[in-house]
Amino acid sequence: DNLGMLSDPSAAVSLWDSDEPVSRAELLKGVAGAHGLLCLLSDKIDTEVLDAAGPNLKVISTLSVGFDHMAMDEIKKRGVRVGYTPDVLTDATAELTVALLLATARRLPEGMVEVINGGWSTWKPLWLCGYGLSGSTVGVIGLGRIGMAIARRLKPFGVKKLLYSGRTDKSYAAEVEGEYVPLDTLVSESDFVVVSCALTPDTQGLCNKHFFCKMKNTAVFINTSRGAVVNQEDLYQALSSGQIACAGLDVTTPEPLPTDHPLLTLKNCVVLPHIGSATYSTRGIMAELSANNLLAGLQGTDMPSELKF
Ligand code: NDP
Ligand code: DGY
Please tell me the number of the ligand nearest to residue 149's CA.
1
What residue owns the CA closest to ligand 2's atom 4? 64
Q: How far is the CA of 153 from the centre of ligand 2 (A)?
A: 19
Strands (E), the chain: 36-39, 59-62, 81-83, 137-141, 161-165, 178-180, 192-195, 220-223, 246-249, 269-271
Please tell me the number of the ligand nearest to residue 250's CA.
1
Q: How far is the CA of 225 from the centre of ligand 1 (A)?
A: 7
Q: Which helix (H) or strand (E) holds 65?
A: none
Residue 100, ligand 1, Cβ within 6 A: no
Assign 3-class secondary structure to 238-284: HHHCCCCCEEEECCCCCCCCCCCCHHHHCCCEEECCCCCCCCHHHHH
Other beta carbons within 10 Å of 199:
18
The 3-state DSSP class for residue 221 equals: strand
- pTM beyond 0.80: yes
Encode the chain (309 residues) as per-residue pLDDT tens digits: 444 445 555 678 999 999 899 999 999 999 999 999 999 999 999 999 999 999 999 999 999 999 999 999 999 999 999 999 999 999 999 999 999 999 999 999 999 999 999 999 999 999 999 999 999 999 999 999 999 999 999 999 999 999 999 999 999 999 999 999 999 999 999 999 999 999 999 999 999 999 999 999 999 999 999 999 999 999 999 999 999 999 999 999 999 999 999 999 999 999 999 999 999 999 999 999 999 999 999 999 999 999 999
Is the peptide bond between 304 and the residue preceding it cis, with omega within 30 degrees of 0? no
Residue 235: CB partners within 8 Å, gap ≥ 6? 207, 212, 221, 247, 263, 269
ipTM above 0.95, yes or no: yes
Residue 136, ligand 1, Cβ within 6 A: no
Residue 286, ligand 1, Cβ within 6 A: no
Selected catalytic residue, list 35, 69, 210, 274: 274
In eight-state DSSP terms, residue 202 is T
Q: How far apart are CA 256 and CA 114, in angstroms?
A: 26
Which of 41, 199, 279 for a ligand 2 pocket mutation test, highest count of atoms within 8 Å of Cβ?
Answer: 41
Question: What pLDDT, on the 0 to 100 scale, is given for residue 11?
Answer: 73
Q: How far is the CA of 200 from the centre of ligand 1 (A)?
A: 9
276 CA closest ligand 1 atom index:
40
Residue 41, ligand 2, Cβ within 6 A: yes
Catalytic residue check, 261: no
Question: Distance between terminal CA atoms of the chain?
Answer: 28
Sheet holding 269-271, edge to edge: 178-180, 161-165, 137-141, 192-195, 220-223, 246-249, 269-271
Residue 149: CB partners within 8 Å, gap ≥ 6? 90, 91, 93, 94
Other beta carbons within 10 Å of 46:
13
Residue 104, ligand 2, Cβ within 6 A: no
Other beta carbons within 10 Å of 95:
17
**Chain centroid offset of residue 20 CA:** 19
What residue owns the CA closest to ligand 1's atom 40? 276
What residue owns the CA closest to ligand 1's atom 10? 142
In terms of Cα–Cα distance, which of 132, 169, 170, 172 is closest to 154?
Answer: 132
137, amino acid identity? T
Q: 70 and 62 in contact (C-beta within 8 Å)?
A: yes
Q: How far apart are CA 109 and CA 99, in angstroms?
A: 12
Q: How far is the CA of 137 from the centre of ligand 1 (A)?
A: 21
Helix 145-154 / helix 90-105 crossing angle, nearest 10 deg: 50
Q: Assign residue 13 a region: left if phi > 0, alpha if psi is -120 to 50, beta otherwise?
A: beta
What residue owns the CA closest to ligand 2's atom 1? 64
